[in-house]
Structure 1
Amino acid sequence: MKKQIRLNAFAMNCVAHQSPGLWTHPRDRTTEYNRLPYWTDLARTLERGRFDGLFLADVLGVYDVFGGSPDAALRNATQTPANDPMLLISAMAAVTENLGFGVTSNLSYEPPYTFARRMSTLDHLTEGRIGWNVVTGYLDSAAKGAGKDKQTAHDDRYDVADEYMEVVYKLWEGSWEDDAVLRDRISGIFADPAKVHRVRHAGNNYRVDAIHLCEPSPQRTPVLYQAGTSPRGRQFAAEHAECVFMSGPSAKIIAPRVAAIRELAAKAGRNPAEILMFSMFTIILGRTEAEAKAKYADYRSHINPEGALTLMSGWTGVDFSTYDLDQQVRHVENDAGRTAMDNITRADPDRVWTVREVAQHVGIGGIGPVAIGTPEKVADEIEAWFDQTDVDGLNVPFAVSPGDFADIADMLVPELTRRGRYKGAYAKGSLREKLFGAGRARLSAPHPAVQHRPHIRAKAAE
């Protein structure tokens, strides 16, 4: 039996997200990103299409690598301005019942104690539909905004992240016992102090001596997403992640990354099949092939090449303003994101990219593939992609929002459902239960979070 196709919508609390210039299209509404009606309408559209979740990207710095200045990012709305994604989620949860929310939050610049409370709060308010995309950042501008001279070295950031995860696991899983909250109106006792435990942690990067401020939420630990596929990122994903997001323009690039993470997960004692892999995949639909191609041509006429290269400069740490448009892109290693540079240099030795080609490709949906056609043709391409890569789902960016998502909900989803490759209805329960099965609202062994639960610690101490 072939695996079910899962869909996440991929967006960001900004203008255009990964299709620079498309905000000028008359059907695009992303300039309304700073108004709640845009987001609640989008959430309703995604739930109509039974999307598994809305995956919200985020950055804390400005894209100022291109030309050594933020000017290009500001001119082209290249993920600037960018508002906080977390503040959107309660409103979208209020108008939906099943849609999940994967929110990106950079652990490099927020103490784990306060962050743990924010995520527990969202898990309560969404009734267990929240996930966290764990990132360590890739922009020096973010580090400078947080009072540092530059970001921590790439692999060192993951060492910090490992300790950060230990701290939040202790807070989410170990501070309150399952039956600590009584809500006993007769006795007047709300919580049993004997079942609420102080978390003490003294490590290389963090010190905590406190109880978690939130009572246990439906999932306790949110569903854990991770989005780095560098060697060190894969190691982190194999230990911590439940869902991994990756991007690349071809199956030849994605397939080995999927296999590498599954192999590392097995070595870590985890079931490789229980780490869900989502790859970026842009979808442009038409009722006919001609309609789809015309739509794509229309979209391409709105691409802003400078905006696209501003994005790539930020992702890779390479100033593409210094390159000739027909110059071949060569590999550079630095402390920015590793995966984006690999995608256009050494990940596929059979493909050589010029700067011009990078700008045109990134201009619609980022660095993933773009499928264009009727629902039947695109469904065929998606099925082939799944067979070639062994992914479990797609993170779907947009060229025009919310129109592209409405097209998927109204045209592609019925076709995938007809083929038996897409759910006919949402499963009940929390986001984790919808992804992994009934009765699995919380993480299970051998995930490292489990060892911090009070009864597990007590057994280990015996």
Structure 2
Amino acid sequence: MSENKREILFNAFDMNCVAHQSPGLWRHPADKASTYKTLGYWTHLAKVLEKGKFDGLFLADVLGTYDVYKGSNESPLRTGAQAPVNDPMMLVSAMAAVTENLGFGVTAGTAYEHPYAFARRLATLDHLTEGRVGWNVVTGYLPSAARNMGQEDQMEHDERYNHADEYLEVVYKLLEGSWEDDAVQANKETGVYADPAKVHSINHEGKYFKVPGIAITEPSTQRTPVIYQAGASSRGIKFAAGNAESVFVTCPTRETLKVAVAKIRDAVQAAGRDRYDVKIFAMQTIITDETAELAEAKYQDYKSYADIEGAQVLMSGWMGIDLSEYGPDDVIGENVKSNAIQSTVETFQKASGDSGKPWTIRQLAEWVGVGGFGPITVGSGAEVAEKLIDWVDYTDVDGFNLAYAVTPATFEDIVEYVVPELQTRGAYKTEYTEGSLRHKLFGEGDRVKDTHRAAQYKISNRLVAKA
């Protein structure tokens, strides 16, 4: 039995839609994903995750359809592959109301909403959750979203990150550099709610945005919510090195994960931060039960519901490549160029089976069919716990972003069978740390560290610079 004193972190990976990472599984009798339109689904899920001491619920999002496949909406709509999809941010308040500790990582893109309005939405959620919100920063990858927002296509991959750099600069200036900590007086005797002398214009004028005024929200618990990021391309890692406090990666093997984790930590250190100022989560799908035999039977049952067409729809969108142009026995060539998620293309190009040969389109689609394009672990709670501990020890990853096969049953199984085994081994928390999401993750207070990019925009630093 493994001994491990490093606590493994868990995020649940979900989306406000009927088919997130396992196309076809919404048809399974145990799956409740089709009730995603109800608050009851989300409040129940939040309670399950908090019972299991999950660190957070990570909510993915897209603003367009996966119409790369065959150049049409027909397949994503027929298979339900992330279509239809609702806004994730509106779910958070309801889930926060029925929990006390669970964090919420909400995906929102930098391409189409102005940072001034978005900063207010972030601050509002941070107030309402008392500091339990994180923002997963995405630059967008679906051409359909760009077209419906009045553009011919999305910006080129690296330029999207340049745009995002300035977007975050505006958000940081608004949330960190506008209101002094003691600006709000709420003095009923003098009638002064906020001291105007302690609220400052940000006077931002850049290549993409001009924001001269003040933030219209007072400081929240964290000021800037925890910054999440999922890009693993070279430009994405550079972006993460200065901004991210939590990074999600998808690697098919522990060997490739070890390389990816080291690359991210090296980049963070090169940016002047501590290597462990970023929590790294690896995508994983867990199928578990009381025994290994029951878990394997469950997995085989799930596989029978997988939708191969839906898997190809998702893969086409992630890669920016129409897989309908490939035959089922073709492999993705090394010379493929992508303006979507470049790291996903690289992952699929390198994916291989036991033979060591590259996987065909058919094999990749079968793999994605249950749990998306992360690795799948099948076994008893004890077997899964041992494997997760091994992956953490070997790769230096901090935790796992757990996708589901069926929901909420996959998460309920993890809480019932895996969490107690990890706790017995000293590898998982038995109680939550008090405080904000940032403090829970790092144990160093509610606000961004001084080495984080946002710190340079703190109002205290601005006032010192002016003095």
TM-score (normalizing by structure 1):
0.98
Aligned to 1:345: 349
Q: Which amino acid aligns with 2:9?
A: R
1:206 aligns with 2:206: no
> 1:88 — aligned with what?
91
Match of 1:444 among 421, 434, 449: 449
Q: Which amino acid aligns with 2:409?
A: G
Shift of 1:334: 2.0
Distance of 1:397 and 1:274 partners within structure 2: 24
- Does 2:463 match 1:458? yes
Aligned equivalents of 2:344 and 2:466: distance in 1?
45
Q: Which moved more, 1:256-265 or 1:143-152?
A: 256-265
Matching residue of 2:435: 429
Q: Which residue of 2 aligns with 1:127?
A: 130
Match of 1:304 in 2: 307
Q: Does residue 68 of the first structure (1) align with residue 71 of the second (2)? A: yes
Counterpart of 2:453, as a letter, is P
Q: Structure 2, unaligned stretches of length 5 or more?
A: none
Q: Alpha-carbon deviation of 1:281?
A: 0.6
Q: What is the rounded CA distance, in whole Å, between the counterparts of 1:288 and 1:346 in structure 2? A: 33
**Partner residue in 2 for 1:386:** 392
Structure 2 CA distance for aligned equivalents of residues 255 and 345 of structure 1: 18
Closer/same/farther in 2, CA of residues 404 and 347 from structure 1, 3 Å limit: closer
CA deviations on 1:111-132 (whole Å, 9 max, x unpaired) are 0000000000000000100000
Displacement, 1:342?
0.6
Alignment size in residue pairs: 461
Task: For 1:99 and 1:139, locate their aligned partners in 2 and report how far apart those are by CA, in whole Å.
Answer: 30
- Compute the displacement of 1:460 (Å): 2.7
Alpha-carbon distance between aligned partners in 1 of 2:5 and 2:239, rounded to the nearest angstrom: 28
Moved over 2 A (4+): 346-351, 458-462
Matched residue SS, 2:349: coil
Task: Tell me the equivalent position of 1:291.
Answer: 294
- Post-superposition Cα deviations, 1:340-393, rounded to whole Å, max 9, x if no partner, equal 111111477955110011001001111111000100111111111112221101
Q: How is 1:150-229 mapped onto 2 (pairs within 5 angstroms)?
A: 150-229=153-232
Q: Which stretch of the first structure deviates more once superposed, 261-270 or 246-255?
A: 246-255
**Equivalent-residue separation in structure 1 for 2:350 and 2:156 (angstroms):** 21
2:23 corresponds to which of 5, 10, 20: 20
What is the CA-CA distance between 1:104 and the residue it aligns to? 0.3
Q: What does residue range 241-280 of structure 1 map to in structure 2 within 5 Å? A: 241-280=244-283
Tell me, in whole angstroms, the C-alpha distance in 2 between the residues paired with 1:295 and 1:231: 38
Match of 1:416 among 419, 422, 431: 422
CA shift, 1:208, in A, is: 0.4
Give the letter aligned to residue 216 of structure 2: L
Q: What are the equivalent positions in structure 2 for 1:127-146 lying under 5 Å apart?
A: 127-146=130-149
In structure 2, the partner of 1:334 is 338
Give 2:460's aligned amino acid. H
C-alpha distance in 2 between matches for 1:166 and 1:274: 20
Q: 1:347/1:22 Cα in 2 relative to 1: closer, same or farther (>3 Å)?
A: closer
| Aligned partner letter, 2:346 | D
* Aligned amino acid, residue 348 of structure 2: I
CA deviation string 1:159-180 (max 9, x = no partner): 1111111110000001100000
Per-residue Cα deviation, 1:45-92 (whole angstroms, up to 9, x for no partner): 000001000000000110001111110000000000000000000000
Q: Give 1:32's aligned amino acid.
A: T
In structure 2, relative to structure 1, the CA distance for the partners of 1:348 and 1:23 (3 Å cut) is closer
Q: Distance in 2 between matches of 1:237 and 1:351?
A: 32
C-alpha contact (below 8 Å) 2:19/2:83 kept by paired residues? no
| 3-state DSSP of counterpart to 1:279 | strand
Aligned to 2:152, the other structure's residue is in SS state coil
Contact between 1:52 and 1:100, CA under 8 Å: does it hold in 2?
Answer: yes
CA–CA separation in structure 1 for the residues paired with 2:465 and 2:450: 14
CA contact (8 A) 2:351 2:359 kept: no
> What amino acid maps onto 2:74 in structure 1?
D
Contact 1:280–1:368 (CA<8 Å) still a contact in 2? Answer: yes
Maintained 8 Å contact 1:253/1:343: no
Contact 2:269 2:275 in 1 (8 A): yes
Closer/same/farther in 2, CA of residues 142 and 338 from structure 1, 3 Å limit: same
Deviates more, 1:126-135 or 1:255-264: 255-264
Structure 2 distance, partners of 1:33, 1:14, is: 6
SS in 2 for 1:274: coil
Alignment match, 1:354: 360
SS at match of 1:333: coil
Gap regions ≥5 residues in structure 1: none
The yes-or-no answer on 1:401 pairing with 2:407 is yes
Quick check: 1:61–1:140 contact (8 Å CA) kept in 2? yes
**Identity %, equivalent residues:** 53
Contact 2:351 2:358 in 1 (8 A): no
Note the C-alpha offset of 1:191: 0.6
2:325 is matched with 322
Task: Report the TM-score, using the length of structure 2 for normalisation.
Answer: 0.97
Q: Distance in 2 between matches of 1:124 and 1:224?
A: 16
- Residues 16 and 399 in structure 1, CA contact (< 8 A), matched pair in contact too: no
- Cα distance in 2, alignment partners of residues 310 and 359 from structure 1: 9
Aligned equivalents of 1:37, 1:137: Cα separation in 2: 29
Q: Secondary structure at the match of 1:263?
A: helix
SS in 2 for 1:282: strand
Structure-2 residue corresponding to 1:374: 380
Is the 1:252–1:348 Cα contact (8 Å) retained in structure 2?
A: no
**Counterpart contact for 2:252–2:351, Cα < 8 Å:** no
Which whole-Å deviations, capped at 9, do the CAs of 1:281-322 have from their partners, x for residues lacking one?
A: 100001111100100000000000000000000000111111
CA distance in structure 2 between the aligned counterparts of 1:351 and 1:163, rounded to whole angstroms: 42
SS at the partner of 1:72? helix
